[in-house]
Every structure is written in structure tokens, then in C-alpha cells.
Structure 1
Amino acid sequence: MQEKILVVEDEIIIAFDIKSCLEKAGYIVPAIAAHGKQAVEKAAELHPDLILMDVMLKGDMSGIEAAAEIGHLFNIPVIYLTAYSDQTHLQKAKTTQPFGYILKPFEETQLITTIEIALNKHQIEVVMREALEKEKENRAIKNKFVSMVSHEFRNPLNNILTCTELLSNYSLHGNDEKRHEYISHIQKSVKHLDNLLTDVLLMSKDEPEKLQFNPAPIDLEAFCQDLLQDIQLNANENHKIIFTVHGRLANIQNNLSVVDSHLIKLDAKMLYHILSNLLANAIKYSPLGGNITFDVFYVSGEVIFRIQDEGIGIPEADQENLFNSFHRGSNVGNIPGNGLGLAIVKYYVDLHGGNVSFASKPGIGTTFIVNLPISN
């Protein structure tokens, strides 16, 4: 590919001599600019690979000022042409970080050699910059995941704290059934924390894409009942969760290959993240209490979850960025949170190959719908 070089020189004879020299060496000269403003305009129009810029140009904008503006707007290397070698001009030129200087009068060999060195140097810088951006992107993805998982530690830790407090009370009253129930909750929460730590270790060693969707047969209704017990432990007594299953797996059994009529194949760990965050949000953003409905629909090829609250709702201006990390609604006030819950939901729904959508109106409430394909 032939490189394009923009020549900026107000002495027309010198400009055409440079153009002839460059074209003889195999370069393309798409234009010659005679003053600084024209140089900026041609740089924007032509996107040359390199600019030969005379330091002293006639008009309101010097070559150094033109190079500074081009450097600010475009990533194009500049080589200065100058008849001046005094320190004042050189110091001013250095501030624009040029890729070389050529003193007039110059030899053709000197001109071509300086251009080749500048083009190679610029190409190396481009490659290094792209590698650096890629590294930053990879780090950002890992940091995002670690933040998301750290957020997930709160629910099981709260469960453990609540159960230990309740255990201390029931120990005094000798209620063995309740003790066993709360011990079971503690054990499940500890296992959940262990799974989260496994994910963190995985992300610290490898690319985030390596976190795979791993479906396994689960009894979905029993899974949801267990989840609701965990959620209800930390819910205000004024919040009531109404759980309903619509249809049964038997209605779509002909389309699936599963081991039991009550089992479907989903990633239980991801599903716990998805539903627990949506239910926790429904409770958190319904400060006056009220009902929360949790519906499961079995349809052909997928299962649908609908979680509806009567809470504060989401302002329309916030809805576009709702699934972005750290974004929170402008109406949340002093309600605690860090804007990661819905980012976690979206992350795991995407890994699941599903879809999450919502409808919301401030002061009325919010409905989230999650569609997850049932894996064979």
C-alpha cells in the first residue's frame, strides 16, 4: 500500500520539487497546502499517513500551530521542514512532538530516509497503543466481573448473619426444627459463597469469556421455593412475595430430552444470581411494602420468569442505561446500593443465551421478564 503524504509549503516551487521527489520514491501526494488553516482542512479531508510541514507559513497560523491542532484532532505524524535551526524555533516545535526535522536545503536521500523512519516509528506506536488499549479493556472486564461478584457476597453474608441471630434465640427456647432450618440456610449460603470464590479465582487467571454456561437438570419449582426462603429471610415483614407456576414441564416434554418430568436443564448458579438480584431489587425499591409477584411460565423451548413490584419505578431518563454497571435511578434517594445488581442479571442472562426486558413507571412499579431457553 502506497503511503499518502500531505505537503504543507508556501513556496510553490519548493512544494512541487518535494512532490516530485516523493512521487519518484513511490509515495502519493494527494495535495499541497499553502497555509496553516488549509493544512488542518486537508488533514481532515484526506487523512494522510504523514505530513511534511513548513515551520514558517504565511498567514494567521504558523506551521507549528497547525501541527499542534492536527495533533490534537488526528493521529497523523508530522515532519517539520525548516530553514531555521535556532533553539527558539526548535523548542516551540518540540512541544508538538514531531516525528523528525529536515533543514532546508535538503538532499533527496535525507528526505526519504527521514520519512521512512517516521512512518515506521508511527506504525510501532500505533501497534503499541492498540495493545495497551486491549490490555486496559481486558483489565476493565476482569475488574467489572470482580466488582459484580463482590456485590453478590452481600446476600449470602446477610443470610448467615440473620440465621445466626435467629439460632441464638431458638437455642434458648429449644426449638430443634427451627434450628435445623436455619442451619440449612447457613450451609447453603456458605456453599454459595464458595461458588462465588471459585468464579473470582477463575476470572483472575483467564479471560472472562471462559466462564461457560453449564446447564444441568434441576427441579425448577423446588429451586424457586428454596430461593424464596433465602430472600424472605432478609425481606421486611410488610413485603409479601406471591409465587405462581403457570403450566407444567409435561406440557412441553416432547420438545425436550430430560431425565425427569420435574427437571429441566439450566445453569443453577447463574439462575440464582439472576432471580435473587431481581427479587432483592423488587423488595428494596418497594419501601412502603406491598405485594411482589413472582411468576414462572413453561412454554415451548423456554422458561419465562416475571417479577413485578409496586415500588418507586424507574424514571424514563434512566431506563436506557439501566443495565450499565454502577448506574442507579435518579429517584433512589437514600436507598442503599451500588448499581451492579442489574448488570449482574444482564451478564448471566447473556451467558445463558436468554433475554431480559422490563417495563416501569415511576410511582406505579416495575416488571422484569427473563426468557431463558431450556437446554437439551
Structure 2
Amino acid sequence: MASKVIDGTSAAAPDDEPAEVRGHLPVQALASYPGLVLPLLLIAAALAVTVFASVQLWRMEARPLQDPTADMPRLYAQAAVEALRLNEAAEHHAGDPAARQEFIRLYHLLLRRLDQLEPVLRDRPAAAAVLDDEIANALIQLRDRDPAVVAYSPGDLAGLAARLTELERTLSRAGARVQGAHQAQQAERAARLYGILVLGAAAVLAGLLGLAWLVSCLLWTLRRVQDDRKLQLDLQRACDSAAYLRNIAAVIAHQMRAPLTVIDSAAQRMLSRPDLAQRPQDGAALLRIRRQVSQVLRFMDQAMLAGAVEGGTPLLHPRPVPLQDLVGMIMAHEGMGDGRQRLVLPEGPAGMRILCDPVLAFHALANLVENALKYSPAGNPVELCAAEVRGMAVISVIDHGAGIPLADQEAIFQRFWRGARATGQPGSGVGLWLARRLAEIQGGTIRVTSDGQSGSRFDLMLPAAGAGTMAARVAPGPSATPGRRAEVRRGDA
């Protein structure tokens, strides 16, 4: 906070950016970051499952080249082909040495095919179930009837041809059964893996959507933090500017109060001169000077008090104050002018005491009295009455003016508000607002009652300091007369 010097008195000037809100964004704004862990973990797990399923699908596609079981349909088919070729060669076996050698070669080739098929069936018992007794018997017989060792007669060749034909059919059926079972198993496995892929993709999509939602929430939170920080900066600057202006106003008021006090003292001394009785016009002018000086000083006091109330800095010094003293301060105020005529003391004991700050209570009550004098016709009385109700001292200011419309009875307590009936009347629009705020600061309030046509009643309610009730009308002053109703009357000045 910088400071400026005005006529020897320093006043604080607002900084460009308050130290309280200067710096980086609050750490609390980043509290949403841990929430990103859950969608990230979900995405990572879904990606891992998806990669696993993809690898398994790839391995399943490549497995026929690596898994011997996948070769079973091919082995069955090759064995069936060799059986057909051997069957054809058996027809040309007789009387031809070359055909006999070809027959022996094909015979051995068929045995090798069946030998290749046998370990696979032995290693896979489930698949071996497709090998029926015909294939087993044919394999045994073929091994026992090797043409390289045993000579074949035409009848043997005919029997071999029949067995080979049946073997070829059996091998074809077995190959088809194995291939169908293998394809069904592969299809089931592929369906499972594709289901895993779909679930993984859905999980990835859900994770991405959740991540996007959390990121949007985080960005929204950060934007709110930035907006709140900017609002805090603006508010702090406004408060600093208001405090700076209040300090300037205090300096100006302090500087103006001294010459105004000198003017008032000089006018008061001149009024005490004995030769002034011979110059009544000069006396009236001096009284007007004192009255105007008093009004200016009171306006300055109200302005400073309004600034203190708005800034939340008024100092309270509550103590029990007799109601007579408070009303006496009102009547002794120079700003009342000729309205202090016909003043009387209240009937009965004047023992009511109010728990208040006398300065703040004076300003609140003075504003109500001045407002009543201002808006009531000349010559009409403005009455003050007091009572204690449920531990509250109620001081009522009653005028007989034009009244306040019902729609305006709450608006009149707004700052700077002036109704249609205030046109042409002096004032700043802060008197009633300030009066109610001063009452609220001291634990009370102000209420207004008016039918909108004939007069208004303002009740200033403050905590009572003692028991007792005073319902009489009060208006003590220097010229008060006991035993009569008190009135505050507006003069013609």
C-alpha cells in the first residue's frame, strides 16, 4: 500500500495488486488432479486386455503353422490320397517289374503317412477318438503285408484294393470330423477373443469419456478459481480505493474543520458584543452564519460516519445514556434552528436509560428529527415520544406532513434513494440509510409507519439500560418547562 501526502497528512493509496491475492493460483484448485487416476487406470487396463486379445487372435491365426494338431486334417487327406494312388498301382502290379516297384514305393509312402498320423493321435486322445477300428486294423494289416517282403497273389491284390478303398473313405470321414471339430474350437475361441476386444474397446471409450469429463471439470474448476481470484482482486482494489477515498475525505474534513471552527467561534464572540442589540440585522446574519457552519460540520460528520459504517470501521463505546441527555444533545444542536421553540419536559419521571454509543445514537436520532422537520409543513409540530418495550427503548419521531407511500417505506432506507416527494428538498439521500445502519450497529433498528397521506412515525429502537417505562412525550432543552407536552417546531428560518 503506497501513501500520498496531502498538506502534511498522509493518505494510503491502493496498490495495483493487493499482496493478499498476489501470486499463483491456489493449490486447492489442483485438487481435481487425483481424480484423473481412475480413468487412466481404466484406460490402461482396457488397453492391456485389448492387446492381449489381439495377440491371442494373431497366435490363433498363426497356430496352424505351429500346432501339430492343426495338421491332422491335412495328414488325413494325404493318407487318403496315398491310399487311392496305392489302389491304382495295385491294378498294374501283376507282370510288370516297374509297376511292382512303384507299388512298393506307394505302399511304403502310405505307411509313412499313417506313421506320421499315429503320434499325433496318440498325443491328442480327444482327437484319437475319430480313429475307428477300421483305420487301426488297416494300419496293422498294412504293416504285416509289406509287398517288399510278402508276395501278393491276384486275390491278395483284390483284397488289398477293397481294404484301401474302405481306408480311403474312413480317412476322409475322419479328416472331415477332425477339421470340423478344429474349426468349431477355433470359432469359439475367436468369438471369445472378439468379445474381449469389444469389451476392451468399450472400456477404452468409457475411460476416454470419463477422462474428458474430468478434464472439463478440472478446466471449469480452474476457470472458477481464476474468476474468483480476479473478483477478489477487483474487490480488494475497490476496498483499497474506497479506503483511500475515505482517508482523503478524512484529511479534507480535518483541514476544513479548523477554519470552520474559527468562523463559528468568531461569530459567537460577535454575538456576545453589547452593541449588537442596536444592529438586529447583523445579529440575524451572525446566527445564520453559525447555523450554516453547524450544518456543514454536521454534513462532514455524517459523510465521515457513513464512510466508516460502509468500511465496517466505526468504533463503538456503548454505555448507559439517559434519554434526557440524548434529546438534550439534539435540542442543543445548532442545525435545529428555530425548530427548538416551545420545548417542554415530559410528564412523570424521566428515568429511561439507553445502552448505546452517545455519538452514534445522537446522529441516528438527529437524522430522524431533521428529516421530520424537512418534510412537515412550517408551523406543524414534530413530536418525540419514548417508551420501553420488551427490553428495547423506543424513541418515536412523529411528524404531520404528507406521509410516505407504502411502496416507498422500505426504499427510503436505501442509500442515495430519494422519492418523488423529495423533489426540491435539500439532502443527499443518505440520512435515513445512515440512521438505520447506526441503529443496527448498536443492536437496534428503525421502523417507519405511515398511511401515505397524513404524517409519518419513525421508531428508533435501541437496547434499554434499565427497567421502567416512559410513555410521556419528551423534548428537554435549555428553555424547557416541566409538566407540559414537548414539541419540536419548525421555524420560518
TM-score, normalised on structure 2? 0.41
> How far did residue 138 of structure 1 move?
3.9
Q: Report the number of matched residues.
A: 253
Rounded to whole Å, the distance in 2 between the matches of 1:296 and 1:211 is: 26
* Pairs within 5 Å for 1:205-216: 208-216=311-319
Rounded to whole Å, the distance in 2 between the matches of 1:146 and 1:285 is: 33
Report if aligned partners of 2:320, 2:465 keep a CA contact under 8 Å in 1: no
Amino acid at match of 2:233: L
Where 1:372 maps in the other structure, the secondary structure is strand
Tell me, yes or no, if structure 1 residue 372 matches structure 2 residue 474.
no
Rounded to whole Å, the distance in 2 between the matches of 1:148 and 1:369 is: 31
Where 1:214 maps in the other structure, the secondary structure is coil
Could you tell me which residue of structure 2 aligns to residue 168 of structure 1? 270
For residue 329 of structure 1, the aligned residue among 402, 419, 424 is 419
Could you tell me which residue of structure 2 aligns to residue 20 of structure 1? 206
Could you tell me which residue of structure 2 aligns to residue 279 of structure 1? 369
> How far did residue 367 of structure 1 move?
0.8
Could you tell me which residue of structure 2 aligns to residue 320 of structure 1? 410
> How far did residue 145 of structure 1 move?
8.0
> How far did residue 329 of structure 1 move?
1.5
Could you tell me which residue of structure 2 aligns to residue 63 of structure 1? none
Tell me, yes or no, if structure 1 residue 130 matches structure 2 residue 220.
no
Report if aligned partners of 2:372, 2:399 keep a CA contact under 8 Å in 1: yes
Could you tell me which residue of structure 2 aligns to residue 32 of structure 1? none
Where 1:209 maps in the other structure, the secondary structure is coil
Report if aligned partners of 1:158, 1:234 keep a CA contact under 8 Å in 2: no
Q: Which runs of 5+ in 2 are unaligned?
A: 1-31, 37-201, 278-282, 467-493
Report if aligned partners of 1:303, 1:373 keep a CA contact under 8 Å in 2: yes
Larger radius of gyration: 2
Rounded to whole Å, the distance in 1 between the matches of 2:247 and 2:408 is: 24
Report if aligned partners of 2:305, 2:314 keep a CA contact under 8 Å in 1: no
* Pairs within 5 Å for 1:55-94: none
Percent of aligned positions that are identical? 19
Tell me, yes or no, if structure 1 residue 235 matches structure 2 residue 332.
no
For residue 307 of structure 1, the aligned residue among 359, 374, 397 is 397
Report if aligned partners of 2:391, 2:463 keep a CA contact under 8 Å in 1: yes
Rounded to whole Å, the distance in 2 between the matches of 1:345 and 1:234 is: 17
Cα 1:354–1:264 change in 2 (3 A) is closer
Could you tell me which residue of structure 1 aligns to residue 51 of structure 2? none
Could you tell me which residue of structure 2 aligns to residue 69 of structure 1? none
Rounded to whole Å, the distance in 2 between the matches of 1:128 and 1:199 is: 31
Where 2:461 maps in the other structure, the secondary structure is strand
Could you tell me which residue of structure 1 aligns to residue 437 of structure 2? 347
> How far did residue 215 of structure 1 move?
1.0
> How far did residue 173 of structure 1 move?
3.3
Rounded to whole Å, the distance in 2 between the matches of 1:278 and 1:249 is: 21
Cα 1:364–1:339 change in 2 (3 A) is same
Report if aligned partners of 2:246, 2:307 keep a CA contact under 8 Å in 1: no
> How far did residue 241 of structure 1 move?
6.7
Rounded to whole Å, the distance in 1 between the matches of 2:247 and 2:441 is: 16
Could you tell me which residue of structure 2 aligns to residue 65 of structure 1? none
Rounded to whole Å, the distance in 2 between the matches of 1:144 and 1:242 is: 41
Where 1:126 maps in the other structure, the secondary structure is helix
Higher mean C-alpha deviation, range 311-320 or range 323-332: 311-320
Rounded to whole Å, the distance in 2 between the matches of 1:361 and 1:291 is: 18
> How far did residue 158 of structure 1 move?
9.6
Where 1:25 maps in the other structure, the secondary structure is helix
Where 2:332 maps in the other structure, the secondary structure is helix
Could you tell me which residue of structure 2 aligns to residue 218 of structure 1? 321
Once the two structures are superposed, residues 178-227 of structure 1 have per-residue CA deviations (whole angstroms, 9 ceiling, x without a partner) of 9xxx9xx99x969x87x9499669949xx833424321243331331232
Cα 1:347–1:164 change in 2 (3 A) is farther
Amino acid at match of 1:288: A
Report if aligned partners of 2:394, 2:462 keep a CA contact under 8 Å in 1: yes
Report if aligned partners of 2:415, 2:433 keep a CA contact under 8 Å in 1: yes
Cα 1:305–1:229 change in 2 (3 A) is same
Report if aligned partners of 1:240, 1:292 keep a CA contact under 8 Å in 2: no
Once the two structures are superposed, residues 51-79 of structure 1 have per-residue CA deviations (whole angstroms, 9 ceiling, x without a partner) of xxxxxxxxxxxxxxxxxxxxxxxxxxxxx
Amino acid at match of 2:275: H
Rounded to whole Å, the distance in 1 between the matches of 2:438 and 2:210 is: 59
Where 1:322 maps in the other structure, the secondary structure is helix
Where 1:345 maps in the other structure, the secondary structure is helix
Cα 1:246–1:357 change in 2 (3 A) is farther
Where 1:168 maps in the other structure, the secondary structure is helix
Report if aligned partners of 1:326, 1:340 keep a CA contact under 8 Å in 2: yes
Report if aligned partners of 1:283, 1:292 keep a CA contact under 8 Å in 2: yes
Could you tell me which residue of structure 1 aligns to residue 133 of structure 2? none
Could you tell me which residue of structure 2 aligns to residue 266 of structure 1? 356
Rounded to whole Å, the distance in 1 between the matches of 2:441 and 2:431 is: 16
Report if aligned partners of 2:246, 2:304 keep a CA contact under 8 Å in 1: no
Rounded to whole Å, the distance in 2 between the matches of 1:143 and 1:246 is: 50
Greater relative contact order (Cα < 8 A, sep 6+): 2
Rounded to whole Å, the distance in 1 between the matches of 2:462 and 2:372 is: 20
Q: Over the residues paired in the alignment, what is the CA RMSD in angstroms?
A: 5.1
Cα 1:200–1:244 change in 2 (3 A) is closer
Higher helix share: 2
Report if aligned partners of 1:247, 1:298 keep a CA contact under 8 Å in 2: no
> How far did residue 169 of structure 1 move?
4.3
Where 1:327 maps in the other structure, the secondary structure is coil
Rounded to whole Å, the distance in 1 between the matches of 2:243 and 2:423 is: 30
